[in-house]
Structures are given as structure tokens and as C-alpha cells.
Amino acid sequence: MNLIQHADSPRYIQLNALDNVVVVVNDQGVPAGTQFDNGLVTLDNVPQSHKVNLVDIAEGEPVIRYGHTIGYALQAIPRGSWVREDQLRMPTAPPLDSLPLSTDVPEKAEPLEGFTFEGYRNADGTVGTRNILGITTTVQCVTGVLDHAVKRIRDELLPKYPNVDDVVALTHSYGCGVAITAKDAYIPIRTVRNLARNPNLGGEALVISLGCEKLQPGQVMHENDSSVDLDDPWLYRLQDSSHGFVEMIEQIMDMAETRLKKLDQRRRETVPASELILGMQCGGSDAFSGITANPALGYASDLLLRAGATVMFSEVTEVRDAIYLLTSRAETIEVAQELVREMDWYDRYLAKGEADRSANTTPGNKKGGLSNIVEKSLGSIVKSGRSAINGVLGPGERFTRKGLIFCATPASDFVCGTLQLAAGMNLHVFTTGRGTPYGLAMAPVVKVSTRTELSQRWPDLIDIDAGRIATGRASIEDLGWELFHYYLDVASGKKKTCAEALRLHNDITLFNPAPIT
Amino acid sequence: MNLIQHADSPRYIQLNALDNVVVVVNDQGVPAGTQFDNGLVTLDNVPQSHKVNLVDIAEGEPVIRYGHTIGYALQAIPRGSWVREDQLRMPTAPPLDSLPLSTDVPEKAEPLEGFTFEGYRNADGTVGTRNILGITTTVQCVTGVLDHAVKRIRDELLPKYPNVDDVVALTHSYGCGVAITAKDAYIPIRTVRNLARNPNLGGEALVISLGCEKLQPGQVMHENDSSVDLDDPWLYRLQDSSHGFVEMIEQIMDMAETRLKKLDQRRRETVPASELILGMQCGGSDAFSGITANPALGYASDLLLRAGATVMFSEVTEVRDAIYLLTSRAETIEVAQELVREMDWYDRYLAKGEADRSANTTPGNKKGGLSNIVEKSLGSIVKSGRSAINGVLGPGERFTRKGLIFCATPASDFVCGTLQLAAGMNLHVFTTGRGTPYGLAMAPVVKVSTRTELSQRWPDLIDIDAGRIATGRASIEDLGWELFHYYLDVASGKKKTCAEALRLHNDITLFNPAPIT
């Protein structure tokens, strides 16, 4: 990285020697007429994290960032201009039938031995980073009653069981009024099922059903067997209540206490770092995301993988335009083909709704200097580091192997987080440029800011400041190691994240590509 | 209605003289070999609310209920059989190109004068039945922070403003990570906008935005103008916070208190019953829904319409198979054509997801004796009474006129309730056979049971027992008038519904037929 470091002088970052545009670092941007150390003079006022071109770019010529083409100039762009979305024609998405498959697989790096954390070992072999009572639901009908029950469990029961961290209701909008046999209904159904098996819930959850809904408890409790024992001690159907609301609350409280007693017996034990299942995500991205926070996550990801852990990255529309960089890194041709299949599924899903991947970028992204989804994607996939990609999960699928996994989810923060929880994530990391108070009830969320200014303004919401990389106060390697250790400390319960301390939780949001009725 | 009334003798209900099947009334059903007073002997054990045939039905002959064909016999069904789904071939849906349009418009009944309720008059001319502080959101990112703020507003501020009934956060899963310019995105967008204008929120709500999201505050605050004054006193963007979470909470609390002061000045005043905007819905239906609760709602609806009120019915997939009974009742050919357009839109929406209207019925419906969507539809549309249909609203649209309105929504309880709130509903009525603790935070929900047994088991959840119609203890007319008066009492705040007393609230659930990204 070519970094110009004087604290108050005009500064930019060039990421790749091939790049003909660079990104302005200064908090207030730079006015027109600013001269950088290398002689480049700006022709426009350029805001922070926006792009300036190092050389004249003729009409039709590529604009290059991260060493890749992010667009073609619609007109001549003289050296020193503020390079913006409206001056660029977006490249077409890479065709899926001619991608390099497993052509450039990174070699396995030396294992990192001896790293551990303190976790809760579950009966199914997974490890929780928290010890949470989960209460899942088959249908939204039960939400009102369950909200009351959870409040009372938290107030009246939880204090009696100090080894249990929390009680969480897995409420959602699926379960009835949906086309449950439609072709794509398997996605929300397996998501609900796998959420309940998250390692942080001890690998199983209580189930609250209404009784008459379409999604029946058996489908939530078992993978290939929709039958269910109605006397199952972890299941309660509200329609079985003989005395209305009062009995419903009593029954749920009783079930909860039985489960709390069991959970309270558990103790943390030392487990290898390989038991970590980290989900990575970015939201409210800016042009620094791909320079500071995401590369640091990528470095930490490579460390975790060397320690044998599972690391998931996601967000189909944010990898689609850079997919050729992922298929080539796939460990096997089969893994590469699974990546292609997920891209193809999503292309067709968007086309059916008369949208395409360009629907991804937000006003905030653009204000943050990201011209289009190609530029956003190149900055997003940096999170995945430099390791081989070992596996692919469809939306709502649960992990089956360790290593670097592409978990194919929409980029929506809440949907991606929900699907990564269903995949089995026991720790989450979230990078943000524009800033968000994002949090999840079922897993600790480490929030990393792309810029120092944000972490200074929001000290109670941002856990790690990756903006230090832009200002030269830390290297990507420094921050990668810092994150690696921080992950292990949070996983062990030695540190609480900002979102945990404040109890900031976004709702579970299912991905249901099938119709509702 | 042909009603056999002895309390302990075998009883059935025949709704229409043309019907060749009747419905068993007895709580425990009737065993095989049971003889009814008219000599009919059952060949099978028949559960309560399930069907028995009065005459032999030959293979291919129609099975008739409500005077209409609900299916064709797949085999000969001897007199006295338990007539079930697996013996019936479902009729095809009525083709949309040959429906009777406005051919049988009911005459306007004599106006009902002098009925009033005590309501809150809003600046936009609407009337609230409650005085609620609403806080809406542009995006789910703000949910975690807003949940904290609302808890503090309820605990610390609300007690100081005794004329304000409640504070409600309009949180939802839309706003970002969605294809905001996709063809069908107008549906969730106008829903979010119109929810905030609900009469029970005083006609306007505070708006909490993140800042970088796709759905911008202007689109939530104005119909045809997405611009917004960032100094608007009813708007706060979390990304404007200079001091993290603490400042966010302070800012929201300050805004809320300003608004609470204004709301607290309001007093109920006597307004004509014509200011009522009733939304009707059924959920967890059984074969009694169309015999007891829904006809009573229909009777009350006709009374309300005579008093000049607005009454909405909904649930496209539950009117689709009986649409010919509605298009003929449309006040004008234009209204009939709008009905057809909404049916056609939904047919295509379901087809795109490789589903059809048969996806509607639930295991609970079937257990409750409803063989298929045709039978369910005939029982569902009874809610709409016998009046002319005066208008049609698309999903998320706000009401523009009084009268009987078909509000085209999915049948999902939460989605339908949400869209009726967006349409401007200030009072909700919900009929249920199987039983549900359903409730809404933004409007009182009157829950009506189709069977007495349910209301006896759930006295704290069911407001009105319509099962009395099946057992002969009340007529449809009796219950219609009872409901009419009950609506006015609840609207006036003189009575609280069960869901209100217990504070049972389902979540707002948007209808987003467009893709997420």
C-alpha cells in the first residue's frame, strides 16, 4: 500500500500499483487546487473516501481500483478530477459459464498451534461462546404471548441461574400465511430449524407452536422427519391451553425453568481455537471498507483458518461482480461450481423480481465514495483474506465442515446475520463505514469501524477502530492480530462487545423467496 | 338456517337448502351409527365441524355447501359419510375474464342515524380510537436503539402524560438490503408511509432513520416528494449522533416528549359512527367460521355501513374462489374491474413463485373441517355481509372513501393486519375457530370465537362468543347488533379488548413482493 502519512497534509491511498484512481484520506476531504506530495493537483473539491484520478483517463478507458476495472469512463476525465458514479459505465457482471474454476488455489499456510478459548461444549460436538436459553417459534401468532413469557423469565427466573447468559425468543414472520410447499420454501424452513440448533443455545431450543399453523413443530425439530411427540418436554402448543393466556404463560415458564436448570449446570472449558465459527459481514460500507476494516478481517481470517477454525463470508450481490476472484481460489472444482450455482440462483431470483445486482448499493455507500457494486464488491471480498475457499453453504444451511466457507446470503444486514446464525456461527464480526448500532441476540457482534472519526464519535458502539490503518497508526497485520486475539477473548466471555453491553439486538429476519398467501 | 337444537342430541347445521352436506355441531363429534332427528345415520365417526352428506353422492357429482360447489366426488360417497378433502376434486378457480361485473348490486339500505362514539379528531380529518405516540423507522438497523428508547419512554415519560394511551415503535424488516427500485417495491414503501399516518397515531409519527439506508426519510414522510428537511422536528437520523448510543437515546427521548406534550392536550369528542374504519379478518378458521362468527360480522358490517362507516375486508386467496359473488356485488363496473385486477395480480404473483391459491389452507383449517380453499373462501366472504362493494384498495394503499372496501391483502394474519393499519383502520375485528392470541399495538382487536368451547377455555383472550349461534342461544341478528354496539364501546375507550388488556401484540409484517439484495 502506497501511504502518504503526514497527519495534516493532503493524503490519499493507492491500493494497487495498477490503479489509476486513489482515495482521499483527509477527514474533511480536500478542496480543488490541493497539491499532494507527488505533485497531483485536484481539479474539484473531493470529499473524504472519494476517488481522484492519477492520470488522464480518455473516454471509454477503464477506471481501475484494487487492480481491477470498476467502470469505463463515459467521457474524458482529466487528471485530478473527483471521479464519480455518473462518469462511469458499469462493467457487465462476469458471465458464469467461463469462470476460472479452482485455477489459483492458495497453498495451505503453516498451522497456528496452541490458541484456545473458553467455551461451552454441546452434546452435538459444537461449542457455544455464550450459554443462552433459546425459545423458538413455528409461527408469528405466538409472538405476543412469548414476549410476555420472556420478560417474566428474564425478570423472575434468570437471576436464579447465574451461569445462563440470557433468554432469547426466536420470533419471526414465517410459519403461516405462506406457500409452504412452494419450490423455494425450503429456505425459510431450514433456516428456522437451524437457528434453533445454534451452538450458543446449547444446540437446541424450546419450541412454541400455535397448533393450526402450516409450519408444524416436527419440521422445526427434525430435519428429515416432520413427526413429533406431542408430549416432548421441549414443545408447547398454545392451542392446547385449557385456561387461556394464564395457562400459556405458566406452561412456558415451567418449560423454561426445566431447561434453565440444565443450562445452569454447564461450565466453560478450554477448547481449541478451531471451535470458533466466525461469521463476517459488512454494512453501511464506504470506500475505506476495502482499505482498512475488510483487509484487517481478511488477515484475521487467514490466522483463524491456520488455527483450524471455521470462517464464513457472505453477501451474494457483493461478491457477484468479483466472483472470478473467488472461483479461482476454490479448493476444488466442485466448490467452485457450487459458488457458480449460488450466483446463478441469485441472478435468476433477482431477474424474476425485475432487479439486478446493481440494486445493492445504497445512498450511503455512494456518499461514502463507492461508485457502484463492482467497486463495492472488490472491497467486500477482501474480508475473505487469501486462503483457499473450502466450502459453500446455501441460504439457511448449517455448516458441515471447517475452513473458509462462502455462506450464500443476501447482503441485507439482518438477513445475512440471521442466515449466518442458522449456519452455526458462534461469533460475528461486522465492519461499518457509515456507522450502525447493529447487534444480534444470539451471538456476540464485534463492530469494526473503517474510519477513526466514527469510532471516536461512537465509542460505546464501535469495538475496534480500523481507521488506524488509513492514518498509518497500525498496519493491516497489526490489526489482524489484534482482531484474532479479540475474537478469542470475546468468545471466552472475557470481553463483552459494545452491542452485548448495551443489549442492542436486531430482529431475526428470514429470507423467504417463496410467495406468501 | 336449519338448526336442530337439543343440547345433548346429535346436531348438525345445514346452511342452504341446496346443500347436500351439513356440519356436525356436537363438541365431541358423533360416532358412526349416530341417528339424527331426521333419520340420517352416520356411517363414520365424524368430528365436530366436519361434514356429513345428506344424500348419496355419485362419483363426479358436486358436493354443495353454502349453496355452491366446493368439490366433485372422486368416488361414490354413500349418505351419512364423513366427507373429507381426499374424496373431493377441487373446482378450478373461476376464470377472471368472464365474471359478472356489477350485475347484482344490493340496494342501499335505510341509513342508521344517531350512533356515535367518542374519538380523537385528527388534523387530517380522520378520527382515532386511541391516542398513541407512534415512532416509525426507515430501516431495521435502528431497531435495537429504538427498543431501548421506547422502553424508557414508556417507563419514564408516559406516566407524565395520562391522556396518551401508549407508545409504539413501527419497526419492520424493510428499508435496506432490498431492491428499492424493483417493480413491486412501491408496495412495502407505501405501506411504511401509510402506517405512520394511521388515525390512532394522531395522523403522524416520529421518524427514526439510520442515514445511509435505501429507504430515505422523505419517502416515508411524503407521498410525492422524497425530499426532507433534515431539521424537521419529527425526524432523527442515528448517524447524526456525535456521541454514540447515549446521544441517540437522549435525542429520541427529547423528540418523544415534545410529541407527547402535544398528544396529551387532546381529548375525546363525540363523533358520528361514520368515522369508524373497521378492518375485518379471520385466522385459524374452521367450518364454523362461515356459520357463526363470519355471518355475525357480516350483519354488523351491514349495520356499520348503514351508519355511514368504512368497513374493510381482505385476504385475496380467501375470496379468489368466490370472486364471482363479489364482482356481481360491486357498486360499479369500475369497482368490479378493480377486484378483477387485484385477483389477476395475485394469481400472477403466486404463479411466479410456483404456487397457487390452494397453498392457503392450513393443517388446522383441515382439522377444523375445511376441505379446501373453495369451502374456506365461501365461509370467509360471509364477513362482507350483503351490501354493495364500494371500493378496492391495493396492498399498502390508504383509504380514500367510506363504504364497504375490499383491501387486497395476503391472508397471512400479520400481513393483513399490517396492511389494514396502513389503509387507515382504527378498529380491528378478528374471528377464529382454532384460537389465536393475535393482537396489534396500533389498534384495538376484537376477537370473536366461532365456537363456545373456545371462548370458555380462553376467557381472557376471546372477547365475543359467536358459538352461541350454532347452539341456538343467539341469532346472527342478535350477535350482529351486539358486535355493532361493542365496536362503538371499544372505539370510545369505554371497553378494552382482551388483547389490549393483556398487551398482546404481533409484529408489523410488511408485504414485499420485490426481491431483497
Please check whether residue B6 is in contact with residue B16, taking contact to mean a CB–CB distance below 8 angstroms.
Answer: no
Cβ <8 Å between A459 and B411: no
Task: Report chain B residues whose CB lies below 8 A from the CB of A217.
Answer: none
CATH of domain A1-89: 2.30.130.110
Which parts of chain A sit beneath pLDDT 70? 1-7
Q: How far from each other are the two terminal CA atoms of chain A, in whole angstroms?
A: 53
| DSSP, residue by residue, B337-391 | HHHHHHHHHHHHHHHHTT--GGG---HHHHHTT--SHHHHHHHHGGGGTTSPB-E
C-alpha cell at A139: 409461527
B431, β-bridge pairs: B282, B448
Closest alpha carbon to B353 in B184, B468, B231, B508: B184
**What is the H or E stretch that residue A128 is in?**
strand A127-128
pLDDT, averaged in runs of 10, over chain B (517 residues): 57 93 93 95 95 97 95 96 94 95 96 98 97 98 97 98 98 95 95 98 94 94 81 93 97 97 97 98 91 96 98 96 97 98 97 86 86 92 97 98 98 97 98 96 98 96 97 95 98 98 96 95
Nearest CB to A437; choose among B238, B435, B460:
B238
Please check whether residue B174 is in contact with residue B188, taking contact to mean a CB–CB distance below 8 angstroms.
Answer: yes
**CATH architecture group of domain B1-91:** Roll (2.30)
Other CB atoms within 10 Å distance of the CB of residue B69: 19
Question: Is residue A275 within 8 angstroms of chain B, CB to CB?
Answer: no
pLDDT for the residue A357: 78
Pairs across A and B, CB distance < 8 A: 264
pLDDT for the residue A408: 98
Min distance B328 CA to chain A CA atoms (Å): 24
Question: Is residue B420 within 8 angstroms of chain A, CB to CB?
Answer: no
Cβ <8 Å between A505 and B144: yes
Q: pLDDT of A231-254, one tens digit each?
A: 888 999 999 999 999 999 999 999
pLDDT for the residue A20: 97
Contacts of B131 (CB under 8 A, 6+ apart): B120, B163, B164, B165, B200, B202, B263, B266
Residues B155, B174: Cα–Cα separation, whole Å: 28
Residues A406, A402: Cα–Cα separation, whole Å: 12
Cβ <8 Å between A515 and B238: no
Residues A375, A385: Cα–Cα separation, whole Å: 17
Q: What mean pLDDT is reported for chain A?
A: 95
pLDDT for the residue A170: 98
pLDDT for the residue B362: 85
What are the helix (H) ranges across A370-471? 373-380, 413-423, 452-457
Residues 367-406, chain B, touching A (beta carbon < 8 A): 367-368
**What is the H or E stretch that residue A499 is in?**
helix A498-502
Task: Report chain B residues whose CB lies below 8 A from the CB of A142.
Answer: 437
Phi, psi of A487 (to 5 degrees): -55, -45
Closest alpha carbon to B156 in B262, B254, B245, B265: B254
Closest alpha carbon to A383 in A292, A478, A276: A292
Helices (H) and strands (E) in chain A, counts: 13, 22
Question: Is residue B6 within 8 angstroms of chain A, CB to CB?
Answer: no
Cβ <8 Å between B437 and A144: yes
Task: Report chain A residues whose CB lies below 8 A from the CB of B238.
Answer: 435-437
Question: Is residue A214 within 8 angstroms of chain B, CB to CB?
Answer: yes
Residues B93, B320: Cα–Cα separation, whole Å: 7
Nearest CB to A140; choose among B147, B364, B414:
B414
Task: Report chain B residues whose CB lies below 8 A from the CB of A514.
Answer: 353, 355
Closest alpha carbon to B507 in B241, B174, B249: B174
Task: Report chain B residues whose CB lies below 8 A from the CB of A509.
Answer: 140, 173
pLDDT for the residue B256: 97
What are the helix (H) ranges across B162-214? 186-195
